[in-house]
Amino acid sequence: MIETFQRSLPNGTTLSCRAAGKPGQPLMVFLHGFPEAAFIWDELLDYFADPAHGGYRCVAPNLRGFEKSSAPTEVAEYKAHLLIQDIQQLVATENADGSMAALVAHDWGGAFAWGYANAFPEQVGKLVIINSPHPGTFTRELRNSPAQQQASAYMNFLARPDAEALLAADDFKRMWPFFTLMKAGPDGFGWLTEEVKQKYREVWGAGLTGACNLYRVTPMKPPLPGQTIDGIPVLPPERLTVNVPTFVFWALDDAALLPGLLEGLDAYVPKLEVKKVPNATHWIVHEQPQLVAREIEAFLQRS
Protein backbone atom coordinates (compact mmCIF):
# COMPACT_ATOMS: atom_id res chain seq x y z
CA MET A 1 0.00 0.00 0.00
CA ILE A 2 1.35 3.41 -0.99
CA GLU A 3 1.58 6.11 1.65
CA THR A 4 2.13 9.79 0.87
CA PHE A 5 3.72 12.43 3.07
CA GLN A 6 5.50 15.77 3.06
CA ARG A 7 9.03 15.75 4.49
CA SER A 8 10.63 19.03 5.59
CA LEU A 9 14.42 19.06 5.32
CA PRO A 10 17.09 21.04 7.20
CA ASN A 11 17.95 23.02 4.05
CA GLY A 12 14.43 24.46 3.93
CA THR A 13 13.19 22.23 1.11
CA THR A 14 10.01 20.20 1.48
CA LEU A 15 9.68 17.04 -0.59
CA SER A 16 6.37 15.32 -1.26
CA CYS A 17 7.00 11.59 -1.12
CA ARG A 18 5.43 8.26 -1.86
CA ALA A 19 6.50 5.21 0.12
CA ALA A 20 5.77 1.59 0.94
CA GLY A 21 7.19 -0.83 3.47
CA LYS A 22 8.05 -0.56 7.14
CA PRO A 23 10.36 2.21 8.36
CA GLY A 24 13.60 0.78 9.65
CA GLN A 25 13.84 -1.89 6.95
CA PRO A 26 16.70 -1.68 4.40
CA LEU A 27 16.06 1.45 2.37
CA MET A 28 15.50 1.73 -1.38
CA VAL A 29 15.16 5.22 -2.85
CA PHE A 30 13.64 5.84 -6.29
CA LEU A 31 14.28 9.04 -8.28
CA HIS A 32 12.10 10.05 -11.23
CA GLY A 33 12.85 12.26 -14.23
CA PHE A 34 11.10 14.65 -16.62
CA PRO A 35 8.20 14.96 -17.33
CA GLU A 36 7.35 12.36 -14.74
CA ALA A 37 6.87 12.28 -10.97
CA ALA A 38 7.18 9.92 -8.02
CA PHE A 39 3.96 8.06 -8.85
CA ILE A 40 5.64 6.24 -11.74
CA TRP A 41 7.37 4.03 -9.15
CA ASP A 42 4.22 2.87 -7.32
CA GLU A 43 4.28 -0.67 -8.70
CA LEU A 44 7.95 -1.06 -7.83
CA LEU A 45 7.47 0.41 -4.35
CA ASP A 46 4.82 -2.20 -3.58
CA TYR A 47 6.90 -4.95 -5.19
CA PHE A 48 10.04 -4.36 -3.13
CA ALA A 49 8.15 -3.62 0.10
CA ASP A 50 6.69 -7.14 -0.11
CA PRO A 51 8.65 -9.51 2.17
CA ALA A 52 8.70 -11.98 -0.72
CA HIS A 53 10.87 -9.51 -2.65
CA GLY A 54 13.08 -8.20 0.11
CA GLY A 55 10.75 -6.36 2.46
CA TYR A 56 12.46 -3.03 1.83
CA ARG A 57 11.43 0.40 3.00
CA CYS A 58 10.82 2.08 -0.38
CA VAL A 59 10.70 5.87 -0.73
CA ALA A 60 10.15 7.87 -3.92
CA PRO A 61 10.36 11.65 -3.53
CA ASN A 62 9.09 14.16 -6.01
CA LEU A 63 12.21 16.15 -6.86
CA ARG A 64 12.24 19.84 -6.04
CA GLY A 65 10.14 21.64 -8.64
CA PHE A 66 7.80 18.68 -9.18
CA GLU A 67 4.30 17.92 -7.89
CA LYS A 68 3.90 19.31 -4.32
CA SER A 69 7.61 19.54 -3.50
CA SER A 70 9.21 22.93 -2.98
CA ALA A 71 9.57 24.76 -6.28
CA PRO A 72 11.92 27.75 -6.04
CA THR A 73 11.68 30.06 -9.03
CA GLU A 74 15.39 30.92 -9.27
CA VAL A 75 17.19 28.85 -11.89
CA ALA A 76 20.32 28.56 -9.72
CA GLU A 77 18.27 26.69 -7.09
CA TYR A 78 18.23 23.66 -9.42
CA LYS A 79 21.96 23.02 -9.58
CA ALA A 80 22.75 19.34 -9.22
CA HIS A 81 24.48 19.56 -5.85
CA LEU A 82 21.35 21.09 -4.31
CA LEU A 83 19.09 18.28 -5.51
CA ILE A 84 21.64 15.76 -4.31
CA GLN A 85 21.58 17.51 -0.93
CA ASP A 86 17.78 17.18 -0.88
CA ILE A 87 18.04 13.42 -1.35
CA GLN A 88 20.83 13.04 1.18
CA GLN A 89 18.82 14.92 3.82
CA LEU A 90 15.70 12.90 2.98
CA VAL A 91 17.63 9.66 3.41
CA ALA A 92 18.89 10.86 6.81
CA THR A 93 15.25 11.18 7.97
CA GLU A 94 14.81 7.47 7.20
CA ASN A 95 18.22 6.16 8.30
CA ALA A 96 20.32 8.04 10.83
CA ASP A 97 23.52 6.76 9.21
CA GLY A 98 22.44 8.01 5.80
CA SER A 99 22.73 4.61 4.16
CA MET A 100 20.67 3.08 1.36
CA ALA A 101 20.51 -0.53 0.30
CA ALA A 102 19.87 0.70 -3.23
CA LEU A 103 19.35 3.90 -5.19
CA VAL A 104 17.18 3.44 -8.29
CA ALA A 105 16.87 6.27 -10.80
CA HIS A 106 15.60 7.18 -14.25
CA ASP A 107 16.24 10.13 -16.58
CA TRP A 108 16.98 13.33 -14.57
CA GLY A 109 16.80 11.26 -11.40
CA GLY A 110 19.73 9.32 -12.78
CA ALA A 111 21.77 12.48 -13.24
CA PHE A 112 21.48 13.13 -9.52
CA ALA A 113 22.01 9.46 -8.66
CA TRP A 114 25.28 9.35 -10.63
CA GLY A 115 26.42 12.45 -8.74
CA TYR A 116 25.27 11.05 -5.40
CA ALA A 117 27.12 7.77 -5.90
CA ASN A 118 30.25 9.64 -6.96
CA ALA A 119 30.22 11.95 -3.94
CA PHE A 120 28.95 9.53 -1.27
CA PRO A 121 29.74 5.98 -2.39
CA GLU A 122 29.82 4.69 1.17
CA GLN A 123 26.12 5.59 1.54
CA VAL A 124 24.91 3.73 -1.55
CA GLY A 125 24.84 -0.05 -1.32
CA LYS A 126 23.93 -0.58 -4.96
CA LEU A 127 23.04 1.77 -7.82
CA VAL A 128 20.44 1.09 -10.51
CA ILE A 129 20.28 3.45 -13.49
CA ILE A 130 17.48 3.28 -16.05
CA ASN A 131 18.11 5.18 -19.29
CA SER A 132 20.04 8.04 -17.77
CA PRO A 133 23.41 8.96 -19.23
CA HIS A 134 26.56 9.07 -17.16
CA PRO A 135 27.98 12.62 -17.28
CA GLY A 136 31.26 11.42 -18.73
CA THR A 137 29.76 9.68 -21.75
CA PHE A 138 26.99 12.27 -22.13
CA THR A 139 29.51 15.10 -22.30
CA ARG A 140 31.56 13.17 -24.84
CA GLU A 141 28.56 12.44 -27.06
CA LEU A 142 27.18 15.99 -26.82
CA ARG A 143 30.55 17.31 -27.93
CA ASN A 144 31.33 14.73 -30.62
CA SER A 145 28.17 12.99 -31.85
CA PRO A 146 25.90 14.88 -34.27
CA ALA A 147 23.28 12.15 -33.76
CA GLN A 148 23.19 12.69 -29.97
CA GLN A 149 23.24 16.45 -30.44
CA GLN A 150 20.16 16.17 -32.63
CA ALA A 151 18.47 13.70 -30.25
CA SER A 152 19.05 16.11 -27.35
CA ALA A 153 17.96 19.26 -29.20
CA TYR A 154 14.65 19.26 -27.28
CA MET A 155 16.66 20.32 -24.20
CA ASN A 156 17.11 23.79 -25.68
CA PHE A 157 13.36 24.10 -26.25
CA LEU A 158 12.70 23.20 -22.62
CA ALA A 159 15.24 25.84 -21.52
CA ARG A 160 13.37 28.66 -23.32
CA PRO A 161 12.02 31.43 -21.07
CA ASP A 162 8.48 30.68 -22.23
CA ALA A 163 8.77 26.88 -22.16
CA GLU A 164 6.37 26.22 -19.28
CA ALA A 165 3.67 28.43 -20.78
CA LEU A 166 3.96 26.68 -24.13
CA LEU A 167 3.91 23.25 -22.49
CA ALA A 168 0.83 24.00 -20.37
CA ALA A 169 -1.28 25.36 -23.24
CA ASP A 170 -4.24 23.41 -24.68
CA ASP A 171 -4.37 20.65 -22.04
CA PHE A 172 -0.60 20.17 -22.22
CA LYS A 173 -0.75 19.55 -25.96
CA ARG A 174 3.05 19.74 -26.29
CA MET A 175 3.66 17.36 -23.37
CA TRP A 176 1.98 14.18 -24.59
CA PRO A 177 4.29 13.83 -27.64
CA PHE A 178 7.23 13.29 -25.27
CA PHE A 179 5.61 9.90 -24.75
CA THR A 180 3.85 9.19 -28.03
CA LEU A 181 6.51 10.29 -30.52
CA MET A 182 8.80 7.49 -29.38
CA LYS A 183 8.42 4.11 -30.96
CA ALA A 184 5.66 2.22 -29.19
CA GLY A 185 6.68 -0.53 -26.78
CA PRO A 186 5.60 -4.16 -27.06
CA ASP A 187 2.09 -3.26 -25.88
CA GLY A 188 1.86 -0.04 -27.84
CA PHE A 189 0.80 2.92 -25.72
CA GLY A 190 -1.60 0.86 -23.67
CA TRP A 191 0.05 2.10 -20.49
CA LEU A 192 -0.97 5.70 -21.23
CA THR A 193 -4.51 5.26 -19.93
CA GLU A 194 -6.86 8.10 -19.09
CA GLU A 195 -6.13 7.42 -15.42
CA VAL A 196 -2.39 7.84 -16.00
CA LYS A 197 -3.01 10.95 -18.08
CA GLN A 198 -5.00 12.46 -15.25
CA LYS A 199 -2.13 11.79 -12.83
CA TYR A 200 0.16 13.65 -15.20
CA ARG A 201 -2.28 16.54 -15.54
CA GLU A 202 -2.30 16.90 -11.75
CA VAL A 203 1.51 16.87 -11.59
CA TRP A 204 1.98 19.28 -14.49
CA GLY A 205 -0.84 21.51 -13.30
CA ALA A 206 1.07 22.09 -10.06
CA GLY A 207 3.67 23.91 -12.15
CA LEU A 208 6.33 23.23 -14.75
CA THR A 209 8.84 25.98 -13.97
CA GLY A 210 10.89 23.78 -11.68
CA ALA A 211 11.14 21.04 -14.28
CA CYS A 212 12.13 23.51 -16.99
CA ASN A 213 14.71 25.04 -14.67
CA LEU A 214 16.61 21.75 -14.73
CA TYR A 215 17.16 22.33 -18.44
CA ARG A 216 17.96 26.01 -17.97
CA VAL A 217 20.59 25.43 -15.31
CA THR A 218 22.52 22.59 -16.94
CA PRO A 219 25.42 23.38 -19.28
CA MET A 220 25.16 19.82 -20.62
CA LYS A 221 22.95 20.43 -23.64
CA PRO A 222 23.67 20.75 -27.36
CA PRO A 223 25.03 24.05 -28.65
CA LEU A 224 22.48 26.38 -30.22
CA PRO A 225 23.06 27.59 -33.80
CA GLY A 226 26.09 29.83 -33.79
CA GLN A 227 27.41 28.38 -30.55
CA THR A 228 30.35 26.00 -30.16
CA ILE A 229 30.80 22.92 -28.00
CA ASP A 230 33.16 24.89 -25.75
CA GLY A 231 30.27 25.66 -23.40
CA ILE A 232 29.84 21.97 -22.61
CA PRO A 233 32.07 21.25 -19.60
CA VAL A 234 34.60 18.44 -19.44
CA LEU A 235 34.59 17.20 -15.86
CA PRO A 236 37.72 15.91 -14.10
CA PRO A 237 37.96 12.14 -13.55
CA GLU A 238 37.40 12.41 -9.80
CA ARG A 239 33.93 13.86 -10.49
CA LEU A 240 33.03 10.96 -12.78
CA THR A 241 34.15 7.75 -11.10
CA VAL A 242 31.45 5.67 -9.42
CA ASN A 243 32.86 2.96 -7.16
CA VAL A 244 29.50 1.38 -6.33
CA PRO A 245 28.10 -1.88 -7.75
CA THR A 246 25.99 -0.51 -10.61
CA PHE A 247 23.32 -2.00 -12.84
CA VAL A 248 22.46 0.01 -15.95
CA PHE A 249 19.17 -0.88 -17.57
CA TRP A 250 18.97 0.51 -21.11
CA ALA A 251 15.93 0.46 -23.38
CA LEU A 252 17.36 0.49 -26.90
CA ASP A 253 14.47 2.34 -28.60
CA ASP A 254 15.04 5.49 -26.54
CA ALA A 255 14.94 8.22 -29.18
CA ALA A 256 16.45 10.85 -26.87
CA LEU A 257 19.33 8.89 -25.35
CA LEU A 258 21.17 6.81 -27.92
CA PRO A 259 23.07 3.56 -27.24
CA GLY A 260 26.38 5.30 -27.90
CA LEU A 261 26.08 6.65 -24.37
CA LEU A 262 26.94 3.16 -23.11
CA GLU A 263 30.28 3.06 -24.92
CA GLY A 264 33.21 3.46 -22.55
CA LEU A 265 30.96 3.53 -19.49
CA ASP A 266 33.03 0.87 -17.74
CA ALA A 267 35.98 3.28 -17.63
CA TYR A 268 34.00 5.37 -15.14
CA VAL A 269 32.10 2.58 -13.38
CA PRO A 270 34.40 -0.37 -12.59
CA LYS A 271 31.67 -2.51 -10.95
CA LEU A 272 29.28 -2.32 -13.88
CA GLU A 273 26.56 -4.55 -15.30
CA VAL A 274 24.57 -3.49 -18.36
CA LYS A 275 21.23 -4.93 -19.48
CA LYS A 276 20.16 -3.82 -22.96
CA VAL A 277 16.44 -4.16 -23.65
CA PRO A 278 15.25 -4.23 -27.27
CA ASN A 279 11.73 -3.12 -28.20
CA ALA A 280 11.50 -0.76 -25.24
CA THR A 281 11.69 3.02 -25.01
CA HIS A 282 12.69 5.70 -22.55
CA TRP A 283 9.39 5.02 -20.77
CA ILE A 284 10.23 1.42 -19.91
CA VAL A 285 9.17 1.87 -16.28
CA HIS A 286 5.64 2.48 -17.59
CA GLU A 287 5.87 -0.07 -20.39
CA GLN A 288 7.36 -3.06 -18.56
CA PRO A 289 7.40 -2.47 -14.79
CA GLN A 290 7.44 -6.18 -14.00
CA LEU A 291 10.53 -6.76 -16.15
CA VAL A 292 12.24 -3.78 -14.50
CA ALA A 293 11.35 -5.11 -11.04
CA ARG A 294 12.62 -8.63 -11.77
CA GLU A 295 15.92 -7.41 -13.19
CA ILE A 296 16.51 -5.08 -10.24
CA GLU A 297 15.65 -7.84 -7.80
CA ALA A 298 18.10 -10.24 -9.46
CA PHE A 299 20.82 -7.60 -9.31
CA LEU A 300 20.19 -6.93 -5.63
CA GLN A 301 20.44 -10.63 -4.88
CA ARG A 302 23.83 -10.97 -6.57
CA SER A 303 26.75 -10.51 -4.19
Confidence of residue 70 (pLDDT cuts 50, 70, 90): very high
The domain total for the chain is: 1
Measured from the Cβ of residue 42, the count of other Cβ atoms closer than 10 Å reads 17
Out of 29-43, 223-237, 265-279, pick the least confident.
223-237
Tens of pLDDT, residue by residue over 217-258, are 999 999 998 899 998 999 999 999 999 999 999 999 999 999
Tens of pLDDT, residue by residue over 71-111, are 999 999 999 999 999 999 999 999 989 999 999 999 999 99
Q: Please name which of 122, 141, 125 lies closest in space to residue 133, comparing C-alpha atoms.
A: 141
CA distance 269 to 169: 42
Q: Please name which of 77, 88, 76, 69 lies closest in space to residue 18, comparing C-alpha atoms.
A: 69
* pLDDT at residue 251, rounded to an integer: 96
* pLDDT at residue 190, rounded to an integer: 87
Q: What angle do CA 259, 58, 80 make, to 5 degrees?
A: 55
CA distance 113 to 129: 8
Instruction: Give the structural domain span for 283.
Output: 3-301
* pLDDT at residue 185, rounded to an integer: 66
CA distance 28 to 91: 10
66 neighbors 203 (Cβ within 8 angstroms) = yes
Tens of pLDDT, residue by residue over 125-167, are 999 999 999 999 999 999 999 999 999 999 999 999 999 999 9
The one-letter code for the residue type at 122 is: E
Tell whether the model's pLDDT for residue 186 goes beyond 70: no
* pLDDT at residue 257, rounded to an integer: 97
278 neighbors 252 (Cβ within 8 angstroms) = yes
Q: Is 225 exposed, middle or buried (0-12, 13-18, 19+ CB in 10 A)?
A: exposed
CA distance 170 to 165: 10
Tell whether the model's pLDDT for residue 197 goes beyond 80: yes
* pLDDT at residue 226, rounded to an integer: 87
CATH no. for residue 292?
3.40.50.1820
Tens of pLDDT, residue by residue over 41-60, are 999 999 999 999 999 999 99
Tell whether the model's pLDDT for residue 188 goes beyond 90: no
The pTM score is 0.97
